[in-house]
A and B are shown apart, each in its own frame.
Chain A
Amino acid sequence: MKAKLNPAYLSAYAIVLGGAVIMLMPFWFMFVFATHSDTDILSVPPPMWFGDAFLDNMRLLLGRLPYFWHNLGMSFYVAIATTVLNLFFCSLAGYAFAMFEFKYKEYLFAGVLSTMLLPAFLGMIPSVLIMTGLGWMNEPRALIVPAACGAMGVFMMRQFIGSAIPKELLEAARIDGCGEFGIYWRIVVPLITPAFGTLGLITFIGAWNNFMGPLVIMNDMQMYTVPLALRSLSGTGQVPWGAISAGSAVAVLPLLVLFVITSRRLIEGLTAGAVKA
């Protein structure tokens, strides 16, 4: 490693670290601006360190978005419910694809994978019509139920279960008289907790960040999720920079915490499918 400290390497290190700073800058400013008043933010040069106006900004934010805490709760509710349902349904389907032999299995699995190629916007208009028909407009279940079993999750679970659980184990349980669902519940589920962690993270982040879904489903400000509520701040008139930054910080913070704790597993999980495919 010592031999590498020539000028070319040093400048490459500098560029990579400089790039990392550029990647982090917007987050830094978001948190710093969240603690400054609008006049501070609009000064030259801008504030680079934390101020003491965070609570004022939150008060401003709640003035503009009276349901903000409710919106935050809605975001958590939708994200957690989507995650729990995905963990259950995806692992069940992944278990079937990994451990059973059945007719048309290959075709059915190819069908699951091909749905990943369908762009999200294609379903945007018809989903509104369906939700209107079901009377689910403005209801969180309109966001949760359609997303309850993602193709990506089925694929991940199948890969993991296929490599982590020996078929002999299931056969032994079958001989001992354990039912098919019992085998899944008592044997498969306890063995795949690492995969649950990864899939749970990915699903939670995706549901938390979902914008297009709530945008067309939720009409009532009280039912907004956080991204949708924040978006309504950037309308016409005076833009409350401090309040926007404070709201964005609150929206991003849960993800940042999750990311700091789990970044390695998250990155590995997200790329595992890509490398194998």
Chain B
Amino acid sequence: MGEFRMPSLGADMERGKVIEWLVKPGDYVHRGDILAAVDTEKTVMEVESFEEGVVAEYLVDLGVTVPVGTPIARITGTPADVVAAGPPAAGAPSRPTPPPAPAPTAPPTPAAERVAPVPAPKPAEAPEPSAPLTPPIRHLAHQFGVDVDRLHGTGKHGAITRADVEAAAAQRAAPSAVPGHGPEGRVRSSPRARRLAAELGVDLASVSGTGPGGAVTEADLRREAAARGPAPEVGAASVGVESVQAEAVAAAPATRAPVESRPGGTATSEAAERVAGLRRAIGSLMARSKREIPHYYLSTTIDLSSAVAWMQQANADRPISSRLVPAALLLAASARAAKDVPGLNGFFVDGVFQQSTAVHLGVAVALRGGGLVAPAIHDADTLTSDELMARLRDLVARARGGRLQRAEMADPTITVTNLGELGAEAVFGVIYPPQVALVGFGRVVERPWAQDGMLGVRPVVTATLSADHRASDGLRGGRFLARVDELLQKPEDL
């Protein structure tokens, strides 16, 4: 029971703003349930509840930047508390939303999320006053002005579910519904599908859903978008809440020659502001790193012929969707080496290095439009290269789409930066405090390579290590890079 505060989503985060609520007052939340999407200056992240209870009210408005630690929602311990307290909508001055039904009780939603009548359950012919009903659902019904006695429950043993109440509210509200608002008439869809709809410029209401309960799925959206030809530019969705998430990607660098500058001054300036904010955040963290961490740097060149040959062989039999890229092998080797060689994986806090037993591998992801974030792949040392590849694709897509989770940003124990195919040959990175090491990989290049008295041409990569002298020294660091090399010679074991 208590206040949910703006969490710190990384060492450098000082403030944040809620850009989307993923729960409504009256919702029962468990520990770990996602409550809201929070925009830090670096990215958008989903934050989870630290406690169990019922969401009583929002304490901040959408889009308002508040310092870390500011209460953003009130969560009460039991459903009974909420009911006893009366509808939280009434008389709570800080509440950002208008009063109950049929007016919307949810925050303004993206334009793409148009109102469409949800197929309502059959009209209630026989009232079932004894239908099982949980307090949160009763509360929700009260908020929407729905008479539960007239509802036909579709849940277990005829229980009235949230969907029943929402459908009834939708039915009532549909004729006068305001587009773009509220849970009434809400098209069933996941936040992910709603974002995709915005990206594709597809009106959710125009799509017939094939998912559970008629929910609009990603496949539905792609089909709809494909049927309509090339998607309109993302700017079409850049109104309201959703635009914040699109900003990072919308910030096309002016140097991109074949691309004309995009119309829509507002989106562009917001994007520029976002990139500037991200740059400030990176700058302040890196300045702290250089001020506090006595870095040392090592470099070694690794023969990748075994790894590349093995990967090509593996990829030959696979569909595109499950093919590997060299980065997956480099990450797998780094994670295992971080586990094997002490002194590099963990945090330096309060003057002491604390080795972490788990390897949460931070992966530096460049955002289209500028800046980077380095979220973690958890327990990366225990994953196969295939699993790592899947996680990498997911992580990069979410980082660029603006949907990372709090834990991913907060707890990498060591970070890898991989410059990829167009990068330089070597990168000597700056450590992310409180971590103590950063591993860098340059571009994979073909080079003459001497071995056993013979000269040949092989694909090689320069691996580097930036490490904290308070936690390790060059001998340790050298062992780490040697271990990475060793692991990459047996790619089939990764």
- Is this pair of chains taken from one and the same complex? no
Residues of A within 8 A of B (CB): none
